């Protein structure tokens, strides 16, 4: 195993040394001597047969993603990113049957990058994906409706990405311009990974994103975070009730918001 530190001093790279934080268990156990490790200011990236430049790029992006997630959640986030050598190995590491078509997945306390698909993303896309997955890792997804945890992850992912909403939600915008508004918040079937409808899958994420974006704009970002936590502990209906909303009134107001933002 080889541990490499990032050079400090570049504009993207904080100058503070990463210190001697203990290596994550992944670095010690997963690939043994074949693992390469790059430390960012707050992140650790562990790669298997990966190019050092890729790992350094990922450490910079993971640091930035950690900062973004921290800013929303209000507590420190220290990303651990694993970079398997192939798509098949990524599926094994994440413990799932297939990761085909996914750029990265959240798995327990770490983000697993799927090198083949991640490599096809634009720089902005890489930052959005890393931030999205890191939000899942840091905030958890258990006991939540899928629209809330996917929408929240995209809310954090797009929050500082600098993309106009009509660009980031292009597939949904096309539907709205054609006079079709979504009927209801997207459920698990809309996010099924086996979906053979990539446009529909993209729309589901965009619908969920705009639901969380609506809540943050209308009630404040802190209220969105509180709703997320309330929903994890007491159920989403109780969390919404604290905002004076029901599932039905949220849906109606979200549909108005989608039309206003994208028409």
Q: With contacts defined by CB under 5 A, name the span among 66-74, 149-157, 164-172, 211-219 that binds Zn ion.
A: 149-157
Residue among 153 and 250 whose Cβ is closer to Zn ion: 153
Nearer to Zn ion, 23 or 202 (CB): 202
Minimal distance, residue 54 CB to Zn ion, in Å: 22
Options 28-36, 145-153, 184-192, 196-204: segment touching Zn ion (CB under 5 A):
145-153
Rounded CA separation 86/83 (Å): 9
Cβ distance to Zn ion smaller for residue 109 or 220: 109
Q: Please state, in angstroms and rounded to a whole number, the distance separating the CA atoms of residues 144 and 153.
A: 13
Min dist CB 132 to Zn ion, Å, is 6
Query: CB 94 → Zn ion: shortest distance, Å?
Result: 13
Q: How far is the CB of 136 from Zn ion (least distance, A)?
A: 5
Asked if residue 118 lies in contact with residue 50, where contact means CB atoms within 8 angstroms, the answer is: no
As a whole number of angstroms, the distance between CA 16 and CA 34 comes to: 28
CA 83 vs CA 18, 72, 98, 225: distances in Å: 20, 26, 16, 30
Binding mask 150-169 for Zn ion (x = CB under 5 A): x--x----------------
**CA 33 to CA 41: how far, in whole Å?**
24
What are the tokens at 132? 């999205």
Task: Tell me which residues touch Zn ion (CB under 5 A).
Answer: 150, 153
């Amino acid at each position: 195993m080889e541990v490499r530190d990032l050079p400090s001093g570049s504009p993207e790279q904080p100058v503070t040394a990463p210190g001697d934080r203990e290596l994550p268990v992944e670095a010690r156990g997963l690939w043994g001597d074949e693992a390469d490790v790059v430390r960012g200011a707050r992140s650790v990236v562990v790669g298997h047969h990966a190019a050092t430049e890729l790992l350094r790029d990922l450490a910079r992006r993971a640091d930035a993603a950690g900062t973004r997630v921290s800013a929303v959640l209000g507590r420190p986030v220290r990303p651990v990113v694993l970079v398997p050598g192939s798509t098949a190995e990524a599926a094994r590491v994440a413990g799932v049957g297939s990761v085909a078509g996914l750029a990265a997945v959240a798995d327990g306390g770490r983000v697993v990058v799927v090198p083949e698909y991640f490599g096809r993303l634009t720089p902005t896309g890489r930052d959005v994906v890393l931030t999205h997955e890191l939000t899942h890792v840091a905030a958890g997804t258990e006991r939540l409706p899928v629209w809330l945890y996917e929408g929240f992850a995209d809310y954090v992912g797009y929050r500082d990405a600098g993309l106009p909403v009509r660009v980031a939600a292009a597939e949904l915008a096309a539907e709205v311009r054609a006079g079709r508004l979504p009927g209801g918040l997207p459920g698990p079937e809309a996010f099924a990974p086996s979906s053979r409808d990539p446009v529909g899958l993209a729309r589901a994420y965009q619908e969920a994103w705009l639901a969380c974006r609506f809540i943050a704009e209308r009630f404040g970002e802190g209220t969105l975070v509180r709703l997320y936590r309330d929903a994890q502990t007491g159920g989403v209906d109780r969390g919404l009730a604290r905002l004076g909303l029901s599932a039905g009134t949220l849906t109606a107001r979200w549909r108005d918001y989608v039309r206003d933002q994208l028409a």
